[in-house]
Amino acid sequence: MTALDVAGTVRHIRHQLAVRRRLVTLALLALLALTFAAALYLGDYYVPPGEVVRSLLSPFTGLVDKGIDFIVLNVRLPRATLAVLTGMSLALSGIIFQTLLRNPLASPDIIGISHGASASAVFCIIALGLSGIAVSLGALLGAILTALLIYALSWRDGVTAYRVVLIGIGMAAIMSAVMSYLFTRARLFEVQQALGWLVGSLNASGSDDIAVMAGALALLLPATALLARALDAMQLGDDTATALGARVEAVRLGLMVVGVANAAFATAAVGPVTFVAFVAGPIARNLLAGSGRGFAQAAIVGALVMLGSDLVAQHALPKVQLPVGVVTGVFGAGFLLWLLVVSNRAGKVN
Amino acid sequence: MANAPASAATSREAALAFGLLCLVAAVLLVAFLSITVGARPMTLETVWSALAAFNPGSTEHRIVWDLRLPRTAIGLAVGAALGLSGAVLQGATRNPLADPSILGIHSGAAVLVVLGVAVFGITQLSLYVWLGFIGAGVAMLVVYAVASLGREGATPIKLALAGAAVTAAMQSVTSAILLTSPRTLDEIRFWQVGSLAGRDMAIFVQVAPFLAIGAVLALATGRMLDGLSMGEDVARALGQDVGRSRAIAGLAAVILAGAATAAAGPIAFVGLTVPHMARAMTGPNYRWILPYSMLLAAILLVGADIIGRIIAPPGEVQVGIVTAFLGAPVFIALVRRRKLATL
Amino acid sequence: MTVDHQLLAAGMDLGYGDRKVVEDLNLTIPAGKLTVIVGANACGKSTVLRGLARLLAPTRGAVYLDGKPIHQMPTREVATILGVLPQSPIAPDAIVVADLVGRGRYPHQGWFRRWTAEDDAAVAEALRATDTLDIADRPVDELSGGQRQRVWIAMALAQQTDLLLLDEPTTFLDINHQVEVLDLLTDLVRHKGRTVVVVLHDLNLACRYADHIVAMKAGRLVAEGRPAKVMTEAVVADVFGMASRVVIDPVSDTPMIVPIGRHHVGAGVMT
């Protein structure tokens, strides 16, 4: 084979991988669009698709129907939008940590960052008697402080994946203990309020939440994209990455900051919705089968999981509105068990 | 000259045996402290007379018999069970961070207790115990079964994954039930934290048989665990039935941890950190690690309970909180040590 | 066009924590030659390679690349001049061979410079040289140890650096592939003028292929130079603690070390 033929083969392989990548992304986007549409017309009051479109266009066309517009524009649209934004955010956080720490278990829900946000929120609700946006701010602060603490405690001539995961798990247990303690010290209605926050819910989706999330993502998405490139080298191990010219410690720190920020903002907005961060990365990677890093795809999967779970939470049981966190918890656990069974049969450990 | 290593080994064994005796003495000491110390301080003579010559009329004697003695007994038993359970799990899974909560035992107990309270209106602690025990057992069996599918059996990573999955699912269900039933929430939030308060002798009598069976089974696994610690291939080459060893160890661990959680609620960190302390004293031999873990954990748990009773008068801090705050720094220090084996 | 680069270590100490592994090393890597580092296990040869490749910072002394201290140079710039294949690289799940080899192009790409024909050509060349073209579209996890090793070497080759350092690249390889890899490295040196440094386990292959051999013991440099001059029975005894006979390899005319153990020693052999 001539040199040109060989280069052609290489180009062909890369092309095939790119095709698969694009197909997967398009399919996921289509699914997301469908789910988003469903979120707008499903509900106690069924709004036909035609009406949904009219309602969405009403600020421009002036064709208004106050009742329907309220439901679509003031209730369902914000809720669905927030679901998509927080789903993306959580998914990115998950895949960043899972890739950095080379461990599928290393999701912010497991390595203590969500627990830090939760403990802080519970503290705000029970000890400080706060509610609403003040609690969200508390949660944000809690996530950041916990992440700093985990990083500081893992640092010993640099940070290893192993230490971060373990200290994170320990931190999760400590935060759980703090919350349990606060629960025994509070009055029942305060505990109920805290539990309501803890279980994760899109009920209070206001334009403030959306504005904050959108603003945060506007910064975090480009930052993630820039840093993700370095992961191509860092995935190969610290030594090989350095050999390829990647600035390993700096990139790792940057990615952790972005990962924590993503988790912190999402958790502050809707509470610690379990498993979205955990499953998005593995699902995306599974679909891509080696044809890409998976970040963009994971973000879409995260949005899908959040939105889909919220739909199920609202409509699955008659007369009962479950919080979205309950549905993601059960779904995520099922997914994980399936993954375990499937990889067990193949003899391959994740 | 060939005798030198042999005598070194025997003197080591003698030292370890002596250490064990010291631990037993420490257990008695801490038990005694537990009976003496409390919101209502008592003198040694009062306690002694309460034990030796019980007078139903005396309030103080009644406190000793109805409150402190059961509390101490349960504390020792639960502590011992947790320590043993953690040591067995760490040995069987070769995972230095194995702990009953990783395998879903705590969340399994919780979900069944919550169901019992919410659906059947159960309020008696003695009935919680049965629910908690069954829940813990079922959860761990599910986790173990799922993780064992496939060629490699239950490796540490697969166990942790399966445990995380089952825990998350059960926690979702638990949260959902708690949200809908404030009454249940009010009951559970105190059980959930892990406490020795309000437990009487009836509870102790209920769990004691399980703890005894579990302890006997666990202590008997010492040699098996030593075999497993060298890796499956080596163990098999030496003629050990690896599957059976793991099954027996798992059974012992779940009986112990399940009963302990059922009696006192979920208590974290004890099963995790105590075996490491024991190992630091005894070396890698499980025939010693197991009894040391058992006694050390008993001492630590009752000690934590004593601290909880005196640290915030007139109230008390539940033992589960104290162990978390004491155990967490130890755990973190453990992880930071260079020599910790990898998962 | 290959440029000659100067890589040397001056008074270098290397260690992990308070453990000193390499002591007072003064080593100049001859440009345009194949240098092989040999020594017993744990003598520090891998550590030396890591120090030279700036993967490990020296506790004393320094490494100089073209006269500049390598640790002060931007790491990406170094990566365009010096390529390293460390001992335990990690392959991400499900990655395809062509993709992994393509990662070697990382230092030549920036945020905005995407894949060019030059990159494709470099990857193609690397695949051809390591005989991995027929497995280019397979996932790396499905390959045998030997195939995987060749893929990693291809990645290092795709980096197209004038200096190439490899840490035990011939482990897991069948003897035919070991020879192939070493022949390939020799091609790079003789035909492309590159400078190659390899850590090898096999003393005889080292003696055959090295233009310059470096023998280490307990963190110190014991001997260096042409194999024919350096590899004497005395040096072998010092470095490996083993008695031997040094004969001439009938194929390559280079020293061949024949070990003397407790059994299978001919009647006329003196120990």
Asked if residues A227 and A257 have their Cβ atoms less than 8 Å apart, the reply is no
Percent of chain C with pLDDT over 90: 57
Token look-up 């004497």 returns C232
Average pLDDT (A103-124) is 85
pLDDT at C271: 58
pLDDT at B101: 78
Altogether, the residues listed in chain B come to a count of 343
pLDDT at B201: 84
Average pLDDT (B86-99) is 82
- Which residues numbered 277-336 in B keep a CB inside 8 Å of some CB on A? 317-318, 320-321, 324-325, 328, 331-332, 335-336
Better pLDDT: B11 or A223: A223
Asked if residues A191 and A126 have their Cβ atoms less than 8 Å apart, the reply is yes
Q: What region does B5 belong to: left with phi over 0, alpha with psi -120 to 50, or beta?
A: alpha
Token look-up 């080899």 returns C101
Highest-confidence range of A37-51, A248-262, B112-126, by mean pLDDT? A248-262
Q: Contact A326/B172, CB-based, under 8 Å?
A: yes
Mean of all residue pLDDT scores within chain B: 82
pLDDT at B53: 75
Q: How far is CA C50 from CA A252, C56, C58, in A?
A: 21, 6, 10
Touching subunits of A (3+ CB pairs, under 8 Å) are B, C
Token look-up 């945060």 returns A216
Q: How is residue A128 annotated by DSSP? A: S
pLDDT digits (tens, 9 = 90+) for C144-173: 888 888 899 999 999 999 999 999 998 878
Residue A132 C-alpha, separation from nearest chain B C-alpha, in angstroms: 19
Q: How is residue B314 annotated by DSSP? A: T
Q: Is the pLDDT of residue C267 over 50?
A: yes
Asked if residues A51 and A63 have their Cβ atoms less than 8 Å apart, the reply is no
Least confident of B312-316, C24-28, C159-163: B312-316
The residues with which C9 forms a beta bridge, in sequence order, are: C27, C63
Across the A:C interface, residue pairs with CB atoms under 8 Å apart total: 111
Average pLDDT (A80-97) is 94
pLDDT at B39: 67
Select from C76, C102, C117 the Cβ nearest to the Cβ of A245: C76
Confidence band, pLDDT 50/70/90 cuts, at residue B167: confident
pLDDT at A265: 92
Q: Which CATH number fits domain B65-337: 1.10.3470.10, 1.10.10.10, 2.40.10.120, 3.90.1640.10?
A: 1.10.3470.10
pLDDT at B26: 94
Better pLDDT: A284 or A68: A284
pLDDT digits (tens, 9 = 90+) for B93-133: 777 777 787 778 888 888 888 888 888 887 776 777 778 88
Q: Is the pLDDT of residue B63 over 80?
A: no
Nearest CA in chain B to A338: B146
Distance CA C11, CA C237 (A): 26
Q: Contact B193/A180, CB-based, under 8 Å?
A: yes
Q: Is the pLDDT of residue B343 over 60?
A: no
List the domain boundaries for chain B. Answer: 65-337
Q: Is the pLDDT of residue B4 over 60?
A: no
Burial of B314 by CB count in 10 Å (0-12 exposed, 13-18 middle, 19+ buried)?
A: exposed
Mean of all residue pLDDT scores within chain C: 90
Nearest CA in chain B to A275: B168
Average pLDDT (B125-154) is 77
Output phi, psi for C201, to 5 deg: -90, -35
For residue C40, which of C268, C252, C235 has the smallest C-alpha distance? C235
Average pLDDT (A274-281) is 88
pLDDT at A343: 63
Token look-up 């003629």 returns B239
Q: How is residue A261 annotated by DSSP? A: H
Secondary structure of chain C as H, E, C letters = CCCCCCEEEEEEEEEECCEEEEEEEEEEECCCCEEEEEECCCCCHHHHHHHHCCCCCCCEEEEEECCEEHHHCCHHHHHHHEEEECCCCCCCCCCEHHHHHHHHHHHHCCCCCCCCHHHHHHHHHHHHHCCCHHHCCCEHHHCCHHHHHHHHHHHHHHCCCCEEEEECCCCCCCHHHHHHHHHHHHHHHHHHCCEEEEECCCHHHHHHHCCEEEEEECCEEEEEECHHHHCCHHHHHHHHCCCEEEEECCCCCCEEEEECCCCCCCCCCCC
Residue A308 C-alpha, separation from nearest chain C C-alpha, in angstroms: 28
Output phi, psi for B43, to 5 deg: -90, 165
pLDDT digits (tens, 9 = 90+) for A172-192: 888 888 888 898 888 888 888
Select from B149, B192, B343 the Cβ nearest to the Cβ of A344: B149
Better pLDDT: C31 or A9: C31
Distance CA C54, CA A262 (A): 34
pLDDT at C221: 92
Asked if residues C27 and C48 have their Cβ atoms less than 8 Å apart, the reply is yes
What DSSP element (H or E) covers A320? Answer: none
Asked if residues B82 and B293 have their Cβ atoms less than 8 Å apart, the reply is no
Q: Contact B149/A173, CB-based, under 8 Å?
A: no
pLDDT at B6: 67
Q: How is residue B64 annotated by DSSP? A: I
Q: Which chain B residues touch A332 with a CB distance below 8 Å?
A: 165, 168
pLDDT at A87: 95
Going by DSSP bridges, is the β-strand pair C82-85/C60-65 parallel, antiparallel, or unpaired? unpaired
Average pLDDT (B72-86) is 94
Confidence band, pLDDT 50/70/90 cuts, at residue A286: confident
Q: Is the pLDDT of residue A347 over 70?
A: no
Distance CA A217, CA A262 (A): 8
Better pLDDT: C143 or A318: C143
Better pLDDT: A57 or B323: B323
Asked if residues C115 and C103 have their Cβ atoms less than 8 Å apart, the reply is no
B266 preceded by a cis bond (ω within 30 of 0): no
Highest-confidence range of A66-70, B5-9, B232-236, C176-180, by mean pLDDT? C176-180
Interface-testing mutation among A181, A317, A327, with chain B (most B C-beta atoms within 10 A):
A181
Q: Is the pLDDT of residue A345 over 70?
A: no
